[in-house]
Structure 1
Amino acid sequence: MKRKLSMMKKNLFKTMLSVAISLILLISILPLPVKGESVITPKNEMRAAWIATVQNIDMKPGMNVAQYTAWVRQTLDQLKANKFNAVIYQVKPTNDALYPSKLAPWSSYITGGKQGKNPGYDPLLIMLNEAHNRGMELHAWINPYRVTMPGESLASLASNNVARTNPSWVVKYGKQYYLNPGLPEVQNYLISTVKELVANYDIDAVHMDDYFYPYKIKNEVFPDQAAFKKYGTSFKKVDDWRRDNVNQLVKKIYSSIKTTKSDVQFGISPFGVWRNQSTDPTGSNTRASVTNYDDLYADTRQWIKDGSIDYITPQIYWSKTLSVAKYSTLLDWWSNEVETYANVHPVNLFIGVADYKVGLDSDKAWKNKMELPNQVIANRANKIAMGQMHFSLRSIQKNLLGYATILKQQLYNYTALTPATSWNNADQPLEPTSVQANKVANGMKLVIQDQNNIQPRKYVIYRFEGNEVGSYQNPRNIVDVVYNSKGNTVFLDMSANPNKQYTYGITSLSATGVESMDAYVVEVGSN
């Protein structure tokens, strides 16, 4: 039996009652939040885990294809069970690749051998397919300028690494080598690597973190004076030229992504402080020893103004009580930036949270298992922040003090949709053409068919007990999110009781996360 239901025609009383009950239940198990903070589980929230491959932080080297695939599946199953909806997978940790590339050598972090050694399989493709099989987004994480880690020589790099074929592109600062951000040929090369990545893989986003110009080393000058003399003639100060180099790269990468695949997002996760108020009255009320603007030459505000990013994830890796850089102070500052300066198009604000500090940091606040969960609660109360990204996988898995269990049981207890980027395309998709629902031995089987000209990217599976449709705004009614499988998508609801009657509502999500107005409604089960 099929019924179409407009999602705009919902029972307001049922929705309010359901939300009130959820709030009461959550308050009963959570510590009392500070004044004004909310614990209502949002329907749309980024819940991402960084998977760091550099120096094999989160991934061991030397796995064959069977071992790697098993590790990926186990990892993603755990994250899925914890209601995470995205992974930020580091595919270019240095000037290398965890996928077959014509522009960069194979990363040594996949094989554990010399850079350039082929592992015999495509790590990115396996991770991507397995993530999508679980309804999870994959953001491909790149580090553009970094060539080596400390102490590594250029001779240790593969012979086809551009740092070796074009040594004039490279500078040494401290114990590391970098591509010189001030060279146009370096910018062109980096843009081409992103274009190759986006063209060849069905990724949901390209992600850059906080490594732009390297963190400053005392009494050492970054060696780009020759490039400044040649290319920086329109700038009086080298600092302004450096910032412009990064701004131009960000703009050009954004443009390259959009011309290749317009729906693929571009996000950046910068260091948590733009500038201190003591330096700039519009900066944050912090006393950070490092800032984006002055030390890393990353003018994060300008990217928000230019509309050259889709999301920004400041790494607010400090506690709510640290006097020099309070979490809440920075959460409010970044929220104000996004509200004030997103002139070209909106920018989603996610927060980078420091799972790696739980139970381990010298700041005693991190000895409290509620420090990080309370930061998630603060993000929700803030209303501008649309979720968080957790650094990193191994800390989530270690679950020190049981903090990740608290997240799972009390805050990530329902499925959430990743926030939309409607400014890339606001068109609302149509609901599926048809859905067949049948009881099977281990649950309920849904076959979703779509013959619409414009295919949705995902479907949202809502489930209601009995033969009545409930609220589409309450996340407790979301069973799962599934990627469209070429118009014929099969979903097995193993959490359903075969002896019960259910009403399913299936909506479509566009490639930019816009949900259909209508749901395809189907009843299945006993009675």
Structure 2
Amino acid sequence: MPRPPVRLVLIVSAVLLAVSVLGIGLLRAASYEPPGAGSPAARGPERAGPAAGTPGRCAGVPVSATWELRGMWLTTVMNIDWPSKPGLSREQVQTEYRAWLDLAVSMRHNAIFVHVRPSGDAFWESAYAPWSEWLTGRRDGRSPGWDPMAFMVAEAHARNLEFHAWFNPYRGSQPAPAGPGADFAELAPNHPLRKHRDWAIAYPDGKNARLYFDPGIPAARAFVEDAMLEAVEKYDVDGVHFDDFFYPYPEGGGNDFKDDASFARRADKSQSRADWRRANVDTLVSEMSRRIKQLKPWVKFGISPFGIWRNRDTDPAGSDTHGLQSYDAIYADTRKWVREGWLDYVVPQLYWAIGFDKADYTKALPWWSGLVRGTRVQLYIGQGDYRVGEKGPWRQPDQIDRQLSLNDKYGVLGSVHFSAKQIREDRLGSVTRYRDHHYAAPALLPPMAQLPAAPPAAPRLVGARRTPAGPVQLEWQAGAGAEPASWALYRVEGAAAKLVATGRAGAKVQDPAPPPAAAQYCLSGLDRSGNEGAVSAPRGVSR
């Protein structure tokens, strides 16, 4: 999903093979090196959330919380993150997944983005796609005998993490382990491209080819939409998430995406191939936006595009960058999607260092900040944790730390880190550094005005006690009206009541690290869309 820089230099064949095998282009950034080779403040000022309903005051002081999305991508293709290898037992798969969620909680994240349709396959029982080989260890489409998707969503929600189902719409296969890359015989027996070979295009040429659904065939587009919406209908997901794979990244060397047949059938014969391809992607994005909200109005829709729309030297509306242009190279008109309001959030992959001459983080970021200004589309940034430790500025342990400080300056509402494995590895102590500086306290998800809103009435705290293990535990009752989906716990600290814990409704309400002195607490409830209701009356706990 998350992607990287541009084709600034020729990529050696070994790296091309790695990118092709990975099938998600996530190593593309590692192929571009800059020529040659401060301790920021805590996460900006705490922001009052744009919630429907104001939280108010606790024991006479204002409540204070940070509102931002914090997440990581959990990648399944090629078993990059999870499962650690294909064909594990149900118990092993579940144990590993719980460990990833526990890592997210320890990082004070509040969302996770899980790769559930990597390549025309599925991590759920689907009428449209075979079971994923990265889960089952087989390409025969046979069921693992349990429901991974239901498990994944339930476990994320139990930890009060939003679950964003991450889909690759048009990827149909990965390179075959032996023989021709785009071999229909290598597909699962129930793979849709076996039945609809006319929907399939092999790209690039040669043994590293993979199959794509042709975006120019309306029936193929409707099919992949239905396949993704099936998961939305069956499971309690919080978001639908795409990365930037629509048309494939150009491989060069004379490779062409062979869509002559569908191009010849286009309705508007005056369209150039580039405009026609962009229109095909636009149609997918706009239709998915509309259909998701028709099905479940509260489900968010977001895309993580390549970090450059167009360069300023090509288009005055572009960014001050000099790299691959997604508008021209992969037919992704991200700017249009934001301006049309088809997205709820956008997560550009800014996998470049501060000072990188072709795509300087300090120059790409302001362009995206300006793009969302005045829209209802929230801006999160895709952070390139996987690059930490590479040559040049990525050997600076504070590179992402400094980037997060810039995000604060430009009003960014969150970050998603690629990928989970790098969060766990914590190269150069980079993750620990930015966690302590920017994620030191929990955060609430920023509400979206376009989603349904029903902020709960103030709950009532009916008890508070210190437990032998240390945390302060509070008992509460919901207020009249709508039941909260989650809660936020505040503790008075001087002139403000600071957010100290969050949880799903039904989970224990407790302060995990209370002070030894007496303390005052207030509790609020939040609806499914993150809108916060009024806080409770305070409840104290003695020393």
- Give the TM interval when normalised to the shorter protein: 0.7 to 0.9
Q: Match of 2:187, as an amino acid?
A: L
Measured in 2, the distance between the counterparts of 1:83 and 1:221 equals 44
Q: How many angstroms does 1:214 deviate by?
A: 0.3
Q: How many angstroms does 1:127 deviate by?
A: 2.2
Residue 330 (structure 1) aligned to one of 364, 371, 377: 364
The residue aligned with 1:164 is 194
Aligned ranges 1:174-193 → 2 under 5 Å:
174=204, 175-193=209-227
Q: How many angstroms does 1:427 deviate by?
A: 4.5
Quick check: 1:514 aligned with 2:541?
A: no
The residue aligned with 2:504 is 483
Q: How many angstroms does 1:228 deviate by?
A: 1.5
The residue aligned with 1:283 is 318
Q: Note if contact 2:55-2:532 (Cα within 8 Å) is conserved in structure 1.
A: no
SS of aligned partner of 1:97: coil
The residue aligned with 1:268 is 303
Out of 257-266 and 406-415, give the one that drifted further: 406-415
Quick check: 1:393 aligned with 2:428?
A: no
Measured in 2, the distance between the counterparts of 1:493 and 1:164 equals 55
Specify whether residues 164 and 374 from structure 1 end up closer, same or farther in structure 2 by C-alpha distance, changes over 3 A only: same
Aligned ranges 1:99-498 → 2 under 5 Å:
99-151=124-176, 152=181, 153-174=183-204, 175-218=209-252, 219-288=254-323, 290-339=324-373, 342=375, 346-360=376-390, 362=391, 364-383=392-411, 385-432=412-459, 435-442=462-469, 443-450=471-478, 452-464=480-492, 471-472=496-497, 477-485=498-506, 489-496=507-514
Out of 85-94 and 130-139, give the one that drifted further: 130-139
Q: Note if contact 2:71-2:417 (Cα within 8 Å) is conserved in structure 1.
A: yes
Measured in 2, the distance between the counterparts of 1:353 and 1:293 equals 21
Q: How many angstroms does 1:456 deviate by?
A: 2.6
Q: Match of 2:504, as an amino acid?
A: Y
Q: Match of 1:56, as an amino acid?
A: N
The residue aligned with 2:39 is none
Q: CA-to-partner distance for each residue in 1:198-243, whole Å, 9 max, x for gaps?
A: 1111111110001110001222221111111213425421111111
The residue aligned with 1:54 is 77
Measured in 1, the distance between the counterparts of 2:358 and 2:89 equals 46
Q: Match of 1:479, as an amino acid?
A: V
Q: Note if contact 2:278-2:333 (Cα within 8 Å) is conserved in structure 1.
A: yes
Measured in 1, the distance between the counterparts of 2:280 and 2:357 equals 33
Measured in 1, the distance between the counterparts of 2:521 and 2:87 equals 44
Q: How many angstroms does 1:481 deviate by?
A: 1.6
CA RMSD of the aligned region, Å? 2.3
SS of aligned partner of 2:509: strand
The residue aligned with 1:27 is none
SS of aligned partner of 1:146: coil
Q: Match of 1:324, as an amino acid?
A: K
Which structure 2 residue ranges, 5 or more long, are not aligned?
Answer: 1-52
Q: How many angstroms does 1:117 deviate by?
A: 2.8
The alignment covers a number of residue pairs equal to 478
Q: Match of 1:191, as an amino acid?
A: E
Measured in 2, the distance between the counterparts of 1:283 and 1:11 equals 50
Provide the TM-score with structure 2 as the length reference. Answer: 0.83
Q: Match of 1:480, as an amino acid?
A: A
Out of 257-266 and 445-454, give the one that drifted further: 445-454
Q: Note if contact 2:398-2:434 (Cα within 8 Å) is conserved in structure 1.
A: no
Measured in 2, the distance between the counterparts of 1:128 and 1:56 equals 19
Quick check: 1:525 aligned with 2:541?
A: yes
Measured in 2, the distance between the counterparts of 1:11 and 1:163 equals 63
Q: How many angstroms does 1:285 deviate by?
A: 1.3
Out of 112-121 and 397-406, give the one that drifted further: 112-121
Q: How many angstroms does 1:248 deviate by?
A: 0.8
Measured in 2, the distance between the counterparts of 1:423 and 1:182 equals 31
The residue aligned with 1:25 is none
Q: How many angstroms does 1:455 deviate by?
A: 2.6
SS of aligned partner of 1:521: coil
Measured in 2, the distance between the counterparts of 1:526 and 1:115 equals 62
Specify whether residues 318 and 437 from structure 1 end up closer, same or farther in structure 2 by C-alpha distance, changes over 3 A only: same
Q: CA-to-partner distance for each residue in 1:110-147, whole Å, 9 max, x for gaps?
A: 12222513222222222222221111111110000001
SS of aligned partner of 1:231: coil
Q: Note if contact 2:501-2:510 (Cα within 8 Å) is conserved in structure 1.
A: no
Which structure 1 residue ranges, 5 or more long, are not aligned?
Answer: 20-41
Q: Match of 1:388, as an amino acid?
A: S
SS of aligned partner of 2:113: strand
Measured in 1, the distance between the counterparts of 2:283 and 2:442 equals 38
